[in-house]
């Protein structure tokens, strides 16, 4: 027994020494690569990063490969080498996919950091975000992790890319952040006569995604903070009163109330042809209205609805289509 314990202790010490040597080796290699980049030898450094990545991956050193590619991507970004940085960023994702790493906040924040440094107009950024969202779903959701959506939405908001920011906020749980972004979007780009439409659209979309809590938060925050909306409820704008009553009706779940509400506010609901399409879906989700017997929505409206609600329509085993594409809802 004593001999076995001694052998186990020696093996543990040897493992610790090997681990320290490996970490030291990674740091030395990283130092050399950093020096190459600092000297402007970008091509050589990039090729060396790729060589080391595949070497580490073949040895199942996934964490080392990921950390080296992440630090390398940040280094290339800091030197304005967008293509090399984007390539290493994709290798970060490859290491996550192959290692089957559990989704964690730190990893999501790293991915969002890389996304924020990419050229907003580059095709690499589109490919990166699509793949990152797919990995972050972890098989439990079709549209990506809510926290990653939130981080992407915040970056896009800073870039004043309000349309794509709204898409990602819809798939996060950050109703308050979404409302604050919409207030800025409305005041910067919208007409004063449309202040109610910005929040109505968001509330209806959140409800179509069965996110009742975020629908309520986005409405409350937006109406309190928007400089062109007077204190309510009740509100001056009929559409805002409709949304307020709708949120109350969703809590009650009474079909008669929902039906009367939609009939009484038709003049306001006709301002956007999508409103009644969203309300058909909300009727099914919260009030037990049977789906229409006619064929599914066609044309542009159908595409928008499927893009918005695709995840709830699919069976668990089905693969969703391109989940990352922002929906144009202006």
pTM of the prediction? 0.82
Question: What is the reported pLDDT for 139?
Answer: 58
Q: Is the Cα torsion angle 50, 52, 55, 57 positive or negative in sign?
A: negative
Which of 242, 246, 183, 248 is CA-nearest to residue 218? 183
> Over pLDDT 70: what percentage of the chain?
79
Question: What is the reported pLDDT for 328?
Answer: 35
Cis omega before residue 261 (within 30°)? no
Residue in this structure with the two tokens 């209205």, named with its chain if needed: 289
Question: Residue 296 is inside which H or E element, if any?
Answer: none
Q: 71-107, pLDDT tens digit by residue?
A: 999 999 999 999 999 999 999 999 999 998 889 999 9
Nearest-angstrom CA–CA distance, 46 and 250? 55
Averaged over successive runs of 10 residues, the pLDDT of the chain (330 residues) comes to: 52 50 68 91 96 95 95 97 98 94 94 98 95 85 88 98 97 96 97 96 97 97 96 94 98 95 97 96 96 60 57 38 36
Instruction: Give helix 123-137 / helix 146-158 axis angle, nearest 10°.
Output: 150
Longest pairwise C-alpha distance within the chain: 87
Which of 241, 308, 230 is CA-nearest to residue 268? 241
> Over pLDDT 90: what percentage of the chain?
74
Question: What is the reported pLDDT for 2?
Answer: 54
Question: What is the reported pLDDT for 317?
Answer: 36
Q: 222-254, pLDDT tens digit by residue?
A: 999 999 999 889 999 999 999 999 999 999 999
In the 8-state DSSP scheme, what is residue 328?
A: -
Question: What is the reported pLDDT for 10?
Answer: 54
Find all residues with CB under 8 Å of 245, minimum gap 6, and list them: 261
For residues 177 and 192, the answer to whether their CB atoms sit within 8 Å is no
Residue 279 vs residues 35, 68, 255, 258, 311: alpha-carbon distances, Å? 59, 49, 12, 9, 18
Question: What is the reported pLDDT for 295?
Answer: 45
């Amino acid at each position: 027994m004593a001999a076995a314990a001694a052998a186990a202790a020696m093996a543990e010490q040897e493992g610790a020494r090997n681990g320290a040597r490996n970490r030291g080796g990674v740091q030395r290699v990283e130092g050399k690569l950093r020096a190459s980049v600092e000297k402007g030898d970008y091509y050589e450094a990039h090729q060396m990063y790729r060589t080391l990545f595949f070497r580490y991956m073949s040895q199942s050193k996934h964490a080392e490969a990921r950390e080296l590619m992440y630090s390398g991507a940040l280094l290339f970004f800091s030197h304005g080498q967008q293509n090399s940085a984007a390539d290493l960023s994709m290798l970060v994702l490859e290491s996550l996919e192959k290692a089957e790493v559990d989704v964690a906040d730190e990893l999501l924040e790293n991915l969002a950091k890389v996304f924020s440094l990419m050229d907003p107009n580059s095709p690499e950024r589109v490919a990166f975000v699509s793949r990152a969202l797919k990995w972050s779903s972890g098989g439990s959701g079709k549209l990506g992790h809510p926290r990653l959506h939130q981080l992407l939405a915040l970056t896009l908001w800073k870039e004043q890319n309000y349309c794509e920011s709204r898409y990602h906020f819809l798939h996060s749980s950050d109703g308050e952040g979404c409302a604050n972004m919409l207030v800025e979007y409305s005041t910067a780009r919208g007409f004063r006569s449309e202040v109610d439409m910005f929040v109505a659209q968001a509330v209806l979309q959140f409800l179509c995604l069965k996110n009742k809590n975020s629908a309520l938060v986005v409405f409350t925050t937006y109406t309190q903070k928007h400089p062109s909306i007077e204190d309510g409820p009740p509100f001056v704008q009929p559409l805002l009163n409709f949304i307020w009553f709708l949120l109350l009706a969703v809590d009650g779940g009474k079909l008669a109330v929902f039906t009367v509400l939609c009939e009484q506010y038709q003049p306001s609901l006709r301002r956007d042809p999508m409103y009644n399409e969203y309300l058909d879906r909300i009727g099914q989700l919260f009030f037990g209205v049977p789906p229409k017997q006619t064929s599914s929505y066609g044309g542009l409206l159908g595409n928008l609805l499927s893009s918005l609600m695709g995840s709830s329509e699919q069976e668990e085993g089905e693969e969703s289509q391109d989940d990352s594409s922002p929906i144009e809802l202006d």
